[in-house]
Amino acid sequence: MKTLQNSGDFKISGIASGIAAYTMWGLFPLYWKLLVNISPYEILAHRIVWSCVFTFFLLAVRKQLASAGKIFKNPKTILYLIASGVLVSLNWGIYIWAVNNGRILESSLGYYLNPLLSVLIGVIIFHERFDVWLGVALLLALAGIAIFIVKLNSFPWISLSLALSFAVYGALKKVAKVDNIIALMLETLSVSPIALWYILSINTTSAGAFYKGNILTIILLIFAGVVTSIPLLLYADGVKKLPLTVMGFLQYISPTGQFLLGVLVYHEQFTGDKAITFAFVLTGLIIFMATRSGVRKIPEESLAED
């Protein structure tokens, strides 16, 4: 296994995909706040169903539906995709709830933690490089979480669940070895029956947005599939081409955007205790990024084909 010598060894398209994905995620609160009057569970159901419809349409246009059907011949891959579908749905749901309940700062903390969990998974599963500085970064992040619990007398379940669910999701994407669009379609397809049942049931009781909402709300819910799918496809492209350590370098773009929106646009309370927690986590990230001068290449057999 060779060590990367410089950024030229990375696929430039992977870097571009990662930056684009994380920038879009950083701006996501702006979109979900437009649907603040809709139940987070209903928004989640629409995200799942319309993401499935959108990716199915893309596969039809690209004449790849037959390729998607072949995946069902591999039960192990299907299990990976079902697991990743459940994880990404959980991540979406928690995030929507957090944004529309004034908890953007906690969600941003989760995505600051996520790079450290991603590289830890990279070390454990993909045998990427581990050193003492990564250990120091992880300990600082742990100290920040401990301070949050003690000072705020609250368990940061939003932050930790977002970080863990997306870190494991990224690892599953790497081992599934499935084309980006096909994977996303099958992931959302695996949970779409439940989501579609929820949408139909809530609208038959006259409580659903499609029944009582205005045309703008309906359009925003339908396009939730598009705005959800595009960054996920970009992320999947980046995560299969780059080591998880490199994706960790890029990932701070998203929580920084969320943090700035939470403080400057939506004026969430940023107390001294929260500032201390963020300081510990960000210090860990800075140490991690400053000391990762080399990363290991992913074995070719672990990369999905373009």
| Residue 305 within any structural domain of the chain | no
Residue 242: name the closest of 118, 57, 105 by CA. Answer: 118
**Average of per-residue pLDDT values in the chain:** 84
Q: Is residue 1 in a domain?
A: no
Task: Please list the residues that pair with 296 across neighbouring strands.
Answer: 3
Distance CA 27, CA 198 (A): 27
**Inside any domain, residue 185:** yes
The pair of structure tokens assigned to 175 is 């081992």
Out of 27-31, 60-64, 142-146, 288-292, pick the least confident.
288-292
Domain range for 139 is 7-299
Q: Is residue 304 part of a domain?
A: no
Is residue 197 assigned to a domain? yes
Structure confidence at residue 244 (pLDDT):
63
Position 132 in a domain: yes
Model-level pTM? 0.82
Residue range 60-115, pLDDT digits in tens: 998 989 989 999 989 999 999 999 999 999 999 999 999 999 999 999 988 888 87
39 inside domain = yes
Domains of the chain: total: 1
Between 123 and 49, the more confident residue is 49
Longest dimension (CA), the chain: 61
Collapsed DSSP state (helix, strand, coil) of residue 3? strand
Residue 292 lies in a domain: yes
